[in-house]
Amino acid sequence: MGAGDFESRWLRPDVNAVWTRFLQVTHRLEHHIDRRLQVNHGITHTQYEILVRLADGEEQAMRMSDLADSIVTAKSAVTYQVNKLSEMGLVERHKCDRDNRGTWVKLTPAGLERLEQAAPCILSLVRELFLDDLNCDQSAELDKLLGTWSDNLDEHDRNPVHRPDH
pLDDT band, very low/low/confident/very high, at 75 (cuts 50, 70, 90)? confident
Which letter does DSSP use for residue 10 in this model? S
pLDDT band, very low/low/confident/very high, at 65 (cuts 50, 70, 90)? confident
Position 27 pLDDT exceeds 90 = yes
Question: What is the predicted pLDDT for the residue at 9?
Answer: 75
Position 100 pLDDT exceeds 70 = no
Mean pLDDT of 98-111: 86
Least confident of 4-8, 77-81, 87-91, 107-111: 4-8
Mean pLDDT of 3-12: 67
Question: What is the predicted pLDDT for the residue at 11?
Answer: 85
Question: What is the predicted pLDDT for the residue at 74?
Answer: 76
92 near 105, Cβ under 8 Å? yes
For the chain, give the number of residues: 166
Q: Where are the domains of the chain?
A: 13-132
Position 145 pLDDT exceeds 90 = yes
pLDDT band, very low/low/confident/very high, at 76 (cuts 50, 70, 90)? confident
Specify the 3-state DSSP secondary structure of 61: strand
Question: What is the predicted pLDDT for the residue at 1?
Answer: 47
DSSP codes joined into one string, 83-150: HHHHHTTSEEEEE-TTTSS-EEEEE-HHHHHHHHHHHHHHHHHHIIIIITT--HHHHHHHHHHHHHHH
pLDDT band, very low/low/confident/very high, at 161 (cuts 50, 70, 90)? confident
Q: What is the dihedral of CA 78, 158, 58, 42, to 10 degrees?
A: 30
Specify the 3-state DSSP secondary structure of 36: helix
Domain 13-132, CATH number (from 3.40.50.720, 3.40.50.9100, 3.20.20.10, 1.10.10.10): 1.10.10.10
